[in-house]
Amino acid sequence: MNKEKILITGGSGFLGGYLIRAAMNNFEVIATYCSNKPDYSGISWLPLDLTDTDRIKTAIAETDPAIIIHTAAMTNVDICENRKKRTNTVNIRATEAIAKTAATTGARIIYLSTDLVFDGENPPYSEEDKPTPLSYYGWSKWQGELAVAAANDNHVIVRPSIIYGPPAILGSSFSESLRNAWHDGKVTKLFSDQFRTPIFAGNLASALIELTKGNFEGILHIGGSERTSRHEFGIHLAEALGIGKNLLEEFSISKVDFTAKRPKDVSMNIEFAKSVLKTELYDCREGIRKAYS
């Protein structure tokens, strides 16, 4: 029996690796990369430049997937602020091309947005709250949401928070940057006054694969089940790894002069997601345990 095809954009990225591994048992996996093909077998790798909308349309038409999970994007908030034209091309125009082509081929599209579509003034945020992004990155991801919703009725828009864990194939994460710094004996300065709902990448991948089935359409906030600061998260991670707290230092986000504005509290209300999903969404301690056991 032939398996359904799933196309994962950004397969060479951090979340993409987890999605590939989660999808391999039940799907024929096609994953995209931009320039460097990962050394990982058992799936089909597809080079794809998100600035080439004609190639995007051709690639989807040729591979004809039943499901598209679109994770590829420009995600560095400050780079997006400085390179608005390229951000517009990659995060909005490419997303629109993917969603429109998916509609013509009958594919279901799952689009990865971000909690940074909110300004942090009225947390916790539910799916009904209107986006009010502070950064061009957040704005571009919101515009991607609108493009997906307008182009393809068979869609799910997922807003995750910070994603953590060791790499499944390639990429890195917030937790890995901490672990590497601590391995070298470096003290890490972590914000104690910025709050989000971090989620283990494997947990998020399981939820996304679950959403490939069923009839749910619309927006879902998928984060961990715990509002936490980066400093609190660092304490949980250090405890799990047996690292002394002397390598953690509290720091205020107000002391950093970022190129792009950051919200102070974009923690998400995940109650609706919990009612839709069978996948359990872990708190920080359980997610870290699953990630680093």
Task: Please tell me the distance from the alpha carbon of residue 93 to that of residue 214, in angstroms, as a whole number.
Answer: 28
What is residue 73's three-state secondary structure?
A: coil
Domains in the chain (CATH in brackets) are 4-164+196-227+267-283 (3.40.50.720)
Residue 61: burial class (beta carbons within 10 Å; 0-12, 13-18, 19+) = exposed
Environment class of residue 272 by beta-carbon count within 10 Å: exposed (0-12), middle (13-18) or buried (19+)?
middle
Tens-binned pLDDT, residue by residue, of the chain (293 aa)? 689 999 999 999 999 999 999 999 999 999 999 988 999 999 999 999 999 999 999 999 999 999 999 999 999 999 999 999 999 999 999 999 999 999 999 999 999 999 999 999 999 999 999 999 999 999 999 999 999 999 999 999 999 999 999 999 999 999 999 999 999 999 999 999 999 999 999 999 999 999 999 899 999 999 999 999 999 999 999 999 999 999 999 999 999 999 999 999 999 999 999 999 999 999 999 999 999 98
pLDDT at residue 35 in the model: 86
Give the whole-angstrom CA distance, residue 99 versus residue 107.
9
- For the chain, the straight-line distance linking the first and the last C-alpha, in angstroms and rounded, comes to 36
Supply the pLDDT for residue 253. 94
Q: Record the pTM.
A: 0.97
